[in-house]
Each structure stands twice: as C-alpha cells, then as structure tokens.
Amino acid sequence: MQTGTSIPLSILDLSPIVEGDSPRQALRNTLAFAQAADRHDFKRFWLAEHHNMPGIASAATSVVIGYVAAGTDRIRVGAGGVMLPNHAPLVIAEQFGTLEALYPGRIDLGLGRAPGTDQRTAAALRRNFGNTDETFPLDLTELQSYFAPARPGQAVRAVPGAGADVPIWLLGSSLFSARLAAKSGLPFAFASHFAPELLLHAFYVYRNEFQPSATLKEPYAMATVNIVLAETDREARKLFTSQQQAVLNIRRGRAGQLPPPRDSMAGLWSPTEEAMVDEVLTYAFVGSADNVAPRLNAFIERTRADEVMVTTHVYDLGARIRSLEMLAAMRTPSATAA
C-alpha cells in the first residue's frame, strides 16, 4: 500500500474494547480489521502491549500476533510494541522465534521501554522495578544475542529463536530510543499519534547519529498518525469523537472502554481539556479523502518518513474498515500505483 510520496503505509491496532462489548469480540474485530488490511496491501499490522486498560484487549501481545498471523495471508504482523522491561529477554526471543517459525518472513518485533500501564501495575508485572535507562540497552543486547546463530558451547539458547530472522525495531516517544536505535543501527518508529511534540527532533537525532549495522545500512524512520476517513468531513469528525473522549477520560484518570461517537464534544470538556486533547492528537487527519490526502502528503514531505503507520480508533468496526478502505483507495497527485 502506497500513497503520497510512494512510501509504505501500515496499521497499528489496539484491539479496542468498545462500550458494552467484550475482549473476545474486540479480538475478533482485530482479526477482521487485519484481514481488510491484508486485502488492501498494507505492509504491516502491529499490536501494542498495554496492561490494566479496560478498553484494550492486546495485553498478551505475542498471543494476539499469532492469532492475526494465522488469519491473514501476506501482511507482516508484529508488536508495536512489546515493552521489553516487562519481560525476560529470553522469553521474548522464544515467543518471537516461535512466531517466526510458524509464519516465516512475516513477523516484526518492535520494542519499547515504557511499562504500557500505570506504576502499580508495572510493579506487578516487573517485580524488580529498575532504571530502564540503564537496563533497556542491556536487555536489547541480550535479546539480540538470543536471535543470533547459536554458538558452540552456548549455555542458554532460545529454542525456537536462535538464528531466527526477526527484524527488531525500537519504538519511542522521546529522544532516548531515537539515540539508541541510531547507535544500534536499527529501524526506529516514533509514537507521534499520542506524543507529537518531539517527532521532528527525534527523527533528526536518529538520522544524524545513525550508525550502520549488519541488518540496516541506512536509517529507516516510521511515524505513527491517527487517520479517520469517511464520506464527509462531518461524518469523520463524529467518528473521531470516540477517540477524543477516550483521551479525555484517560487524562481525567477514568480510562474505560471506547465510547460511542457523539454529534459534538461541546459541553463535555473545558477549554483547557479541549486544548490538551487537541495537542495530544496533533497528528490526526480526520475528514473526507479530499481533505485528508493533501494533509497526509504534506506530513510525509515534512517529516521525510520512510513509512507511516496508521491507527484508527473508531467505535464501529464497519466504519473502521471503511476508513481503511478509503485510505487504500486514496491517491494524492504525486502517488504511484501500489
């Protein structure tokens, strides 16, 4: 799938649990969404690790990746990401080595260093709660060692995992992972869909400090954005109110299931809260294809992103798939065929 400057487009899905529904249905919806992305030639379909979140069903990320990979044919499926400090590196190597053995050439492993949850849940997950600035690079190196071909006499091996061709990405919303990805010669994905402020700076740091590695000779930067497409701007804006409400609820400390859309957000938030939500969702492209196409193309040209990953946090599965289909069909003047 290509658009704008002919760069690939991919999908990030959070397996949203909508109000009145169940995790079981959310996961079924995720598979249906992934199958639509597969049909329409998107490059990747990633899932994110979050814990203790009533509105997100992808906590057991590697399990959901296997479910999605089994139900699709071509699209790469991966983690966007696994929060490595929550896990022993050997466990992740075994999990993703297993996924690669089952679905060869289709598995990605994106790694983050945040807990993906609140501090109390993070403590329950990690048991030993250390300084990730110090431990994350060490955990990354250990994980990479398990994916390397097994050495004679190696005492601890990942089986499956040793010698597996699982591309590792570093994910971030700050400069830390940008610098580590550059130093490690790894592809880098920035979470600009909820942390827009440092996107351009992070890309500059990553490209400026990049050191070629055995797996990547040139920097490769991906940006994540929110896109909601519909037949009219008004309809798209209504669909988008579900995500606006979700962000507002999280900031109020009342995270819950994804609420249904509203005709208007008027009266639901204060001016200060509205400004906060707008800032978080700076990189949200909402509207008809005619409205969104030039704005997305301008974003690609400004950031020089090598790939764009799209998240569509919409209440109704049919509307979510329709937004994806419209994105697949959308062609800006500079686009080429997929």
- Write out pLDDT tens, residues 163-195: 999 999 999 999 999 999 999 999 999 999 999
Residue 115 has pLDDT above 90, yes or no: no
pLDDT on residue 336: 33
Please tell me the pTM assigned to this model: 0.93
221 confidence band (pLDDT: 50, 70, 90): very high
**What distance lies between CA 87 and its chain's CA centroid?**
19
Q: CA dist 85 to 42, 58, 144, 182, Å?
A: 30, 17, 15, 20
- Given a cut of 50, is residue 334 above it in pLDDT? no
Does position 135 have pLDDT exceeding 50, yes or no?
A: yes
Average of per-residue pLDDT across 307-333: 90
Asked whether the beta carbons of 107 and 96 are under 8 A apart, the reply is yes
Strands 284-287 and 221-229, by their bridges, are parallel
Residue-level pLDDT at 121: 72
Upstream peptide bond of 153 is cis (omega within 30 degrees of 0) = no
* pLDDT over threshold 50, residue 3: no
Query: What residue ranges do the domains of the chain occupy?
Result: 2-228+291-329
249-265 pLDDT per residue, tens:
999 999 999 999 999 99
pLDDT reading at 5 higher than 50: no
Confidence category of residue 335, pLDDT binned at 50, 70, 90: very low
pLDDT exceeding 70 applies to what percent of the chain? 93
Higher pLDDT, 117 or 319: 319
Q: Is the pLDDT of residue 15 over 50?
A: yes
Confidence of residue 116 (pLDDT cuts 50, 70, 90): low
Would you say 294 and 331 are in contact if contact means Cβ atoms under 8 Å apart? no
Q: What pLDDT shows up at residue 127?
A: 53
Is residue 125 over pLDDT 90? no
Residue 17 pLDDT > 70, yes or no? yes
Task: Note the pLDDT tens digit of each residue in 51-65.
Answer: 999 999 999 999 999
What's at 47, amino acid-wise?
A: L
The rounded distance, in Å, linking the Cα atoms of 193 and 41 is 22
Q: Are 107 and 166 in contact (CB under 8 A)?
A: yes
What pLDDT is stored for residue 130 in this prediction? Answer: 63
234, β-bridge pairs:
none
**pLDDT above 90 (res 300):** yes
Which of 3.90.420.10, 3.20.20.30, 3.40.50.1010, 3.30.70.360 is the CATH number of 2-228+291-329? 3.20.20.30
Name the phi and psi angles at 99, rounded to 5: -60, -40
In this structure, of 66-75, 114-123, 198-207, 255-264, the range with the lowest mean pLDDT score is 114-123
Query: Where does the pLDDT of residue 131 fall: very low under 50, low under 70, confident under 90, or very high at 90 and above?
Result: low
Half-sphere exposure of 4 (CA within 13 A, CB side): 23
**Residues 224, 307: Cα–Cα separation, whole Å:** 9
Across all residues in the chain, what is the average pLDDT?
92
Q: How far is CA 143 from CA 87, 179, 183, 317, in A?
A: 11, 18, 16, 36
Quick one: pLDDT at residue 338? 28
Alpha carbon separation from 307 to 8, 94, 282 (Å, rounded): 5, 28, 18
